[in-house]
Amino acid sequence: MAVLACLTAAVTWALGLTALHVALCLAGSVLISAIVGVLRAHAVAASLQLKRDAELQLVAQAAGAAEQTMIWTADELCRGSRPALPPDPQRAADDPLENVFELIGNLQVQGAGALLRVHDESQAAVLVEMHRTLTRRQHVLIDEMLEHLTSLQEATEDPVLLDRSFRIDHLATRLRRMVESVSVVLGGRSLRETRAPVQVSTVLRGAKSEVVKYPRVLTVPGDVGAAFALPAHVHPEVAHLLAELIDNGLEHSDPATNVVVRAQKVAAGVLIEVEDRATLLMDPAQRDMLNHLLAHPDQADVAAQVRYGHLGLITTAKIAARHGLKVWLVMNAMGGTTAHVIIPNRYLVPTPPAVGTVTISTEPVPAAAQPAYAGAAQQRVRPAPDNRGTTDRLPRRQRVDRPMPPAATAPAMPTQAANPRAAADWRTNLNAGLSAGPGPGTSHP
């Protein structure tokens, strides 16, 4: 500003202006300097404000990220999974903004760690771990009980005792499925183990045997039931999955109708359909919600599903996700619901057809091996006469003892075919005897 005033004074003296003109020029220069100063101050203030707003925006984003991390950690813990801790923040320099970011990062890590520690040390976590241990022990005891029941059924023939033992066997089988459902919902497996593949038809019958109202279930395995088997590590949980779907269909269908379970081969593998006929139509919004649950079980709130009574569906969804099965629900033509289950081709084990064979011998059966009652006894044929009357006349009848055939359950063997040569000789001897005279010791009437 002083430089501008000096320049103004020098210009006015060089031009020979009066004092009034000099004063006016100095006033104008001062005004211009003030305006320029104000504009520069506003520009600097605006720049500082923009920088401050940007820094505040970064701080808000960091705080929002920390909040989302806390919410996500809590949601994952509620779903039964254990999320990983966020990475530790980098050491900040002398920049105050970096120090703020470091503090927010430390708060994020400490908050997630506190949630995990509270979850691990809470009573609910202890109860979950206790239930996992108890389900394994209960499953072992139920398997042992089923083995004893099988031995008892094989050792007795009393129909009353067999009926009661089969009822107890069915109750134990249903109890085993409930224990396995609890294990699956808590993040474990169905606990059933086998060592050999099982045919698809056997899997369908096994799933039918695990439901309460099994007389209403019709299984239609078709050609697929005997043509393919499922591996040992897959078929127990597939049977569990189908039992849950069948039980759900029985509970929400007309008691006077049947639930049909069909199996057929498709391009993707084996398609199993569980079809029911419901008395009330399912809401399309509810069906969409259930299909989303079956397709994304990791996003489901397990506690809420248990409260809503969808324990069977959450069990089905977790089993399907573990083995890569596809399960979805559609409305059928009868107004009910059909559950579709796709078992991929990689799990199908082809089984050879079990067809019985009968070996037939081509050698003729000897005559001595024929039983006495199977056909008429062969009579010894006499030689033909020589027309001199010295040979036997007519063949005499002889008494042949034929024992009565025993009462056999097997059908009699076919009689031996007639001998044309023996028949011709018999007719020749008969004609010769009729043409000859009467023998000695005989008289004509």
> Model confidence over 309-349: pLDDT tens digits?
778 888 888 899 888 999 999 998 888 889 999 999 999 99
**Cα 309 from Cα 286, distance rounded (Å):** 13
pLDDT at 399 over 70: no
Compute the average pLDDT of residues 184-199: 78
Number of residues assigned to the chain: 445
pLDDT of residue 39: 79
Chain mean position to CA 424: 76
pLDDT of residue 228: 92
129 vs 170, more confident:
170
Gyration radius (Cα) of the chain, Å: 50
- Residues 62-83: pLDDT tens digits? 787 777 877 777 777 766 667 7
Q: How confident is the model at residue 207 (pLDDT cuts 50, 70, 90)?
A: very high
User: Residue 230: beta bridge partners?
Assistant: 198
Least confident of 103-107, 188-192, 407-411: 407-411
Q: Report the sign of the C-alpha dihedral through residues 238, 242, 245, 248, in that order.
A: negative
Is the CB of residue 222 less than 8 Å from the CB of residue 262?
yes
Edge-to-edge, what's the strand order for the sheet holding 337-344? Answer: 217-220, 259-266, 269-275, 337-344, 326-331
Least confident of 302-306, 326-330, 357-361: 357-361
Residue ranges of alpha helices (H) inside 156-234 are: 159-185, 200-208, 224-227
Q: Which range is most confident: 41-45, 88-92, 174-178?
A: 174-178
* 3-state DSSP helix/strand/coil % of the chain, to nearest 5: 55, 10, 35
Residue type, 278: A
Compute the average pLDDT of residues 352-361: 54
Q: What is the largest CA-CA distance in the chain?
A: 203
Q: Which range is most confident: 224-233, 360-369, 373-382, 428-437?
A: 224-233
Burial of residue 293 (number of CB atoms within 10 Å: 0-12, 13-18, 19+)? buried
Across the chain, mean pLDDT equals 75
> Given its phi and psi angles, is residue 309 left (phi above 0), alpha (psi -120 to 50 degrees) or beta?
left
State the helix-helix crossing angle for 159-185 and 235-251, rounded to 10 degrees.
100
Q: How confident is the model at residue 433 (pLDDT cuts 50, 70, 90)?
A: low
% of residues, the chain, pLDDT over 90: 15
pLDDT at 38 over 60: yes
pLDDT of residue 341: 95
**Cα 156 from Cα 154, distance rounded (Å):** 6
- Residues 18-29: pLDDT tens digits? 666 666 666 776
pLDDT of residue 401: 55
Q: Report the sign of the C-alpha dihedral through residues 311, 315, 320, 321, in that order.
A: positive
Compute the average pLDDT of residues 229-250: 91
Q: How confident is the model at residue 254 (pLDDT cuts 50, 70, 90)?
A: confident
pLDDT at 443 over 50: no
Compute the average pLDDT of residues 289-317: 81
Q: How confident is the model at residue 85 (pLDDT cuts 50, 70, 90)?
A: confident
Strands 337-344 and 269-275: antiparallel
Burial of residue 417 (number of CB atoms within 10 Å: 0-12, 13-18, 19+)? exposed
